[in-house]
Structure 1
């Protein structure tokens, strides 16, 4: 009897169980990501033309709250096979953080769309070619800020302006996070250019897990220095 009880207590704590729990969480989160980003499928069918960028940005709007919910669900995941509820965590994160995530994501999408349109029409605008460098740097910096802000608004309860300030501050306070996220952005861009947006979308839960892993230092700093 004691042996059986001990076996039950150890159930769900071994390496194989933890791996199985992680795979289960990733699969469920991936399915929910697909369901909550269905409008984005329209964007994958569009030609890669500058004129389609505003429509692509509009179709991509639901991806922000969905990614935020995925971050929340994966952050609060359990490794015990007897208590796996990633769907409940995803939906709870979606309800709690959809508004804040949409603000962050929508601002970034709008800004990146403007930059991309200007870069594509640089010759027609009469601007010198060297403007590509500062505009690209601004786009990269805004993207890294957005990733910080999305993680913060997904896992903590701050006002929108405080999220924006913290995200900017942590670009320099946690440079390792910024570097890791920059590498993640390069991987995503490489996937889009080599394949398609759909290929990247199919790895949404893995990308969310990678972003969460990159942001461990950021999360620790926010929890220690800015929460009670």
Structure 2
């Protein structure tokens, strides 16, 4: 490994560590809820409320990993301040919608509805989550109106990045099931970096076609 490659690797590790620390710091309510609350469907709405800080925090992490080559902490807080409100305009409706879907799926057996309805609800939840990943990346890296960011996220949903991001989310879910939510949280900056890497074709297309 030459000096340049070593320097880049060291810089990447440093950025990931700084972003991870700040990501954990800004998601304390979410981490506390996940750790302390019982895994019961009755707690889903409370978990959703505690997850509100997660959207702006992940957005700031995406921004910092994209723009914070030399000063990741400065880039993180700049991204947090600049993106918090636009992200929340998408994040809050998403949490509400996913909460409704989760409660319905958890009580599916007692609802007396056909089995295909549960499959449909699960498919909708997956599609909405993958759309949200696109929207989060777009809102974190570009300045669009909320409706335009939502439309672009939907436009790029059938693209290859969606499948790759689905793999990242499945891996995160697997780590959570096999280990714990705390381990997944400690991998937060790596997961954000993976989403950013998977979305590079989408962000390049948006930059070339939809920005001046």
TM-score with structure 1 setting the length: 0.89
Q: Which residue of 139, 161, 164 corresponds with 1:180?
A: 164
Separation in 2, partners of 1:196, 1:106: 25
User: For the residues of structure 2 that align with 1:77 and 1:86, how far apart are their CA atoms?
Assistant: 4
Which of 129, 154, 170 lines up with 1:143 in the alignment?
A: 129
Written as runs of structure 1 = structure 2, the 5 A alignment for 1:75-86 is 75-78=66-69, 84-86=70-72
Q: Structure 1 residue 189: deviation in Å?
A: 1.3
Pick one of 7, 10, 18 that aligns with 1:20: 10
Shift of 1:102: 1.5
Give the length in aligned residue pairs.
210
| Contiguous gaps of at least 5 residues in structure 1 | 1-11, 79-83
The 5 Å alignment of 1:111-122 reads: 111-122=97-108
Note the 1:1-228 alignment, pairs <5 A: 14-43=4-33, 44-78=35-69, 84-172=70-158, 175-228=159-212
Give per-residue Cα distances to partners, 1:162-182, cap 9 Å, x unaligned: 01111001112xx11011011
CA change 1:13–1:154 in 2 (3 A) is farther
Cα deviation for residue 137 of structure 1 reads: 0.7
Partners in 2 of 1:58 and 1:200 — Cα distance?
19
Q: TM-score, normalised by structure 2?
A: 0.96
Pair member with larger Rg: 1
Across the aligned residues of Structure 1 and Structure 2, the Cα RMSD in angstroms comes to 1.3
Q: Distance in 2 between matches of 1:170 and 1:41?
A: 31
Separation of aligned partners in 1, 2:168 and 2:16: 18
* Runs of 4 or more above 4 Å deviation: none
Deviates more, 1:126-135 or 1:110-119: 126-135
Counterpart contact for 2:68–2:76, Cα < 8 Å:
no
CA distance in 2, matches of 1:151, 1:120: 29
Gaps of 5+ in 2: none
